[in-house]
Amino acid sequence: MSQIRSQRAQQAAFSVEGTLEIGACLLCAATLGGFLARFWWVLELMTHFRLLLTLGLVCLALVWLRKHRWFLASACGACGAIDGLLVLSVVLPVEPLNIETGENLRLVSLNVQTENKQYDKVLGFVQRANADLVLFMEVDDAWMTAMQPLRVNYPHVIAETRDDNFGIALFSRLQLTSGETLTLGHAQVPSISALISVGGKNIFVLGTHPLPPGSAEYARMRNEQLQSIAVLVRSRNLPSIVLGDLNCTPLSPYFNDLLRDSGLKNVSPKRGLFGSWPAGLPIARIALDHGLVSPPIQVLDKRLGPNVGSDHLPLILQLKIPTSSPIKKAPNRVA
């Protein structure tokens, strides 16, 4: 009887160790596959989860060290180090504050999630945030109705509601010099383009929400939209702000293409990954929600807001706009 129990214990041990071996191979393959992201959309997904890969591989490396499995320990340790260095390359750069004469501008970007019905949480957060501009994504007719109270303080609204998770709305305290909805790329999802005047200087604001890269076609259309954003920003030749759920993280090569081609920067005065999705899984959150600015604009503060019932956390930005005269805000009236 004891021999049978011993055999079963050995079989269980082999089963666990075999599972860990498979896990180690998969995580190492995901690490290396991320460098081939441009060749296959599935491999590009691996780039978004470098932090989780780091944690998993470091844990596995410690397990194999304890078991004296030197090759597996070395492989997991090396791949974990690669992922960790890539994560640090995003975390370490910070915006050196060089305070100049100018005006503060506060913005909020929030994917409310169409299915989320916790309207009061969203309204309460926006009222407390006291932003000058608020971008909402996944807005349908029900959400626009629920947000009518915001029009008292945000009299200027541009919106296109939809039932497919790609409705979008911009609420502004500031007078909009111009504003419109437009489509970028071939996905036929709306973005919002607007001009605001800050101290007599025009600032271009783009709110956008590309498709999630859940298939080869969706990934292609998301990348096309990111390219179109870069072209549009360059063509405006103005200080620019791009807000939205880009369905892409700073670890993706396509995100870096956007920064390079647009001249925008993804910076913060403090270090952080700013993982905004999924809101309910803190350890697994990745940075999908972004606020990108052109070099004349300084980022004074960047942070995530509280959970408001959506699968995304709000993104809050405090900016410094170099100006020569005070910001002109619209009166608090209903449009």
Position 128 scores a pLDDT of: 95
Q: Predicted confidence band at 331 (pLDDT cuts at 50, 70, 90)?
A: very low
Q: Which of 1-15, 101-115, 206-220, 250-264 has the lowest mean pLDDT?
A: 1-15
The set of residues, in sequence order, having a beta carbon less than 8 Å from that of 201 and lying 6+ positions away, is 239, 321, 322, 323, 324
Q: Is the pLDDT of residue 329 over 60?
A: no
Q: In whole angstroms, how far apart are CA 327 and each of 74, 85, 105, 109, 257? A: 57, 41, 9, 21, 33
- Strand order across the beta sheet in which 133-137 lies: 156-160, 168-172, 133-137, 102-111, 315-322, 298-304
The burial of 212, by beta-carbon neighbours within 10 Å (0-12 exposed, 13-18 middle, 19 or more buried), is given as middle
Strand partners, 176: 196
- Calpha distance 150→167 (Å, rounded): 17
Q: Predicted confidence band at 132 (pLDDT cuts at 50, 70, 90)?
A: very high
pLDDT in tens, 197-220: 887 889 999 999 999 999 999 999
Furthest CA-CA distance within the chain = 88
pLDDT in tens, 137-170: 999 999 999 999 999 999 999 999 999 999 999 9
pLDDT in tens, 32-46: 999 999 999 999 999
Pick left, alpha or beta for residue 181 (phi over 0 → left; psi -120 to 50 → alpha; otherwise beta). Answer: beta
- Calpha distance 73→9 (Å, rounded): 24
Position 271 scores a pLDDT of: 80
The burial of 8, by beta-carbon neighbours within 10 Å (0-12 exposed, 13-18 middle, 19 or more buried), is given as exposed
Q: Which of 79-88, 294-303, 305-314 has the lowest mean pLDDT?
A: 294-303
Q: Is the pLDDT of residue 181 over 50?
A: yes
Answering whether pTM is above 0.75, one says yes
Q: Are 170 and 158 in contact (CB under 8 A)?
A: yes
What rounded mean pLDDT belongs to the chain? 90
Q: Which of 127-131, 216-220, 235-239, 326-330 has the lowest mean pLDDT?
A: 326-330
- Calpha distance 153→139 (Å, rounded): 19
Q: Predicted confidence band at 100 (pLDDT cuts at 50, 70, 90)?
A: low
Supply 31's token pair: 């690490």
Identify the structural domains of the chain with CATH numbers, from first to last. 2-91 (no CATH), 102-322 (3.60.10.10)
Q: Is the pLDDT of residue 256 over 90?
A: yes
pLDDT in tens, 265-278: 998 888 888 999 99
Backbone angles phi, psi at 35, to 5 degrees: -75, -10
Q: What angle do CA 262, 267, 273 make, to 5 degrees?
A: 115
Q: Is the pLDDT of residue 294 over 80?
A: yes
Position 317 scores a pLDDT of: 96
> How confident is the model over 182-191, as a mean pLDDT?
94
Q: In whole angstroms, how far apart are CA 128 and each of 20, 170, 268, 332? A: 47, 17, 22, 16
Q: Quote the percentage of the chain above a pLDDT of 70.
A: 90
Report which of 335, 314, 328 is spatially closest to residue 128, judged by C-alpha positions.
314
Q: Quick one: CA dihedral 146, 137, 52, 86, positive or negative?
A: negative
